[in-house]
Amino acid sequence: MGEAKTVHSLFVTCTFMISIFTLCPPFVILLWYTMVHANGSVLQTFEYVEKHGLQGLKDICPAPSPIAWKIIACFGAFEAILQLALPGKRVEGPISSAGNVPVYKANGLLAYAVTLVTYISLWWFEIFNPAIVYDHLGEIYSALIMGSLVFCILLYLKGHLAPSSSDSGSSGNFIIDFYWGMELYPRIGKNFDIKVFTNCRFGMMSCAVLAITYCIKQYEMNGGVSDSMLVNTVLMLVYITKFFWWEAGYWCTMDIAHDRAGFYICWGCLVWVPSIYTSPGMYLVNHPVHLGTQLALLILASGLLCIYVNYDCDRQKQVFRRTNGKCLIWGKAPSKIVASYKTEKGETKTSLLLSSGWWGLSRHFHYVPEILAAFFWSVPALFNHFLPYFYVIFLTMLLLDRATRDDDRCSTKYGKYWKTYCNKVRHRVLPGIY
């Protein structure tokens, strides 16, 4: 990696990273407490803390319990076994700057199906009640916060002592190394990819499990499931199904192919993703909203359309890459730019940059339907409180930052070719605006 290169000064960069380390963990607990025990009201939580002070904060934060550790351990072990044991097609990821080509086993969709069938069957046959997960959710999040921090420390040590490939190294700064990670493709042995586990098999899979958990908990409390909860759950499950259907494509994205395995990615996927992404459903458990058939169907149809457009954006790029540009995009030969670049070893390579279809509207148009899909699975909570929309706001900021980082990376990689591409596709995310 060489010496740390940052957009801002090293002091500002490290201060920002330390802020993330210290603020995100307690925010997860405060979000859970507010959704479950304070009726979704930020003001109610604030008044409680103001009245009780430090002791109030301590009372809010539940200690990890043995049952929380057992639930996490069983779920993590189950997903790890599925990742290793289930059959899947051999898939190669994009070549890295160091010349490495990661190899994966694409069995995510099968693992997803097995997970959901197993979880629902455990409830149906009264072997395990998913409501227990909801009842101990605060303890589970506390355990995840602590356990994932230890996991990231071990990843940091592994990057120093036993890196899995030459796509690793230190920036020379501990804080940056811990935050961004030491390794691009850390593995245990030859076949167990750590980022596939943290990002896909634990992070995204736990979102689906929690969505079903919230449904079952509301059913057991009220003897039925509200239409608002059904819309939220269906949209989340369709989105996650799309994710695992497209999982091999995800392995070519910035998360896997460019961002290293550190606190940002791994702690984020192990803790932030399941807690924040599913928070609208967490709120709806105790606050069922009756939308009515017409409004429920309108929200559902709008969300499904956004998920389809997001999928079709990724599908276009996958087909374009797979056929080396010899395909049809919206019924026409695709518009493209042939860009050359040099690897770290000095080898000259070429890439095709798609500039038509969805990718002709803006350079990161696929983020627009993704943000809208998140809005549509949050809006069943209506507008009594702000907090159910925190995920939408966070996702918007995350994806706008990611679009900027991806543009900067591509500009460095492709140089004049990227400038030509930007002149052709002028807007970064929102066509005609940004």
pLDDT tens-digit series, residues 269-318: 999 999 999 999 999 999 999 999 999 999 999 999 999 999 999 999 98
- Give the Å distances, CA to CA, from 295 to 42, 238, 288, 302: 27, 19, 15, 11
Task: Kindly tell me if the per-residue pLDDT of 6 is higher than 60.
Answer: no
Mean pLDDT of the chain: 94
Whole-prediction pTM? 0.92
Residue matched to tokens 């702690």: 267
Output the pLDDT for position 43. Answer: 94
Consecutive H or E run containing 139: helix 137-161
Nearest to 153 by CA among 29, 2, 26, 267: 267
Please tell me the distance from the alpha carbon of residue 169 to that of residue 2, in angstroms, as a whole number: 8
- Give the Å distances, CA to CA, from 256 to 45, 93, 307: 37, 9, 21
Greatest Cα pair distance in the chain: 66
**Backbone φ and ψ of 157, nearest 5°:** -65, -40
What are the structural domain ranges in the chain? Answer: 1-286, 291-434
Residue 161, CA atoms < 13 Å, CB-side half-sphere: 6
At 167, the pLDDT band (50, 70, 90 cuts) reads: very high
Q: Are 235 and 377 in contact (CB under 8 A)?
A: yes
Q: Are 221 and 285 in contact (CB under 8 A)?
A: yes
Q: Are 342 and 98 in contact (CB under 8 A)?
A: no
Q: Are 399 and 364 in contact (CB under 8 A)?
A: yes
Output the pLDDT for position 241. Answer: 97
Output the pLDDT for position 2. Answer: 38
Give the tens place of pLDDT for each residue, 375-399: 999 999 999 899 999 999 999 999 9
Nearest to 265 by CA among 199, 209, 356, 189: 199
Q: Are 338 and 285 in contact (CB under 8 A)?
A: no
Give the tens place of pLDDT for each residue, 109-130: 999 999 999 999 999 999 999 9
Q: Are 165 and 98 in contact (CB under 8 A)?
A: yes
Please tell me the distance from the alpha carbon of residue 264 to that of residue 30, in angstroms, as a whole number: 20
At 8, the pLDDT band (50, 70, 90 cuts) reads: low
First and final CA of the chain: distance in angstroms?
A: 32
Q: How many residues does the chain have?
A: 434
Sign of torsion over alpha carbons 95, 97, 100, 106: negative
Output the pLDDT for position 347. Answer: 78
Least confident among 117-131, 171-185, 268-282, 337-351:
337-351
Question: 306 vs 13, which has greater pLDDT?
Answer: 306
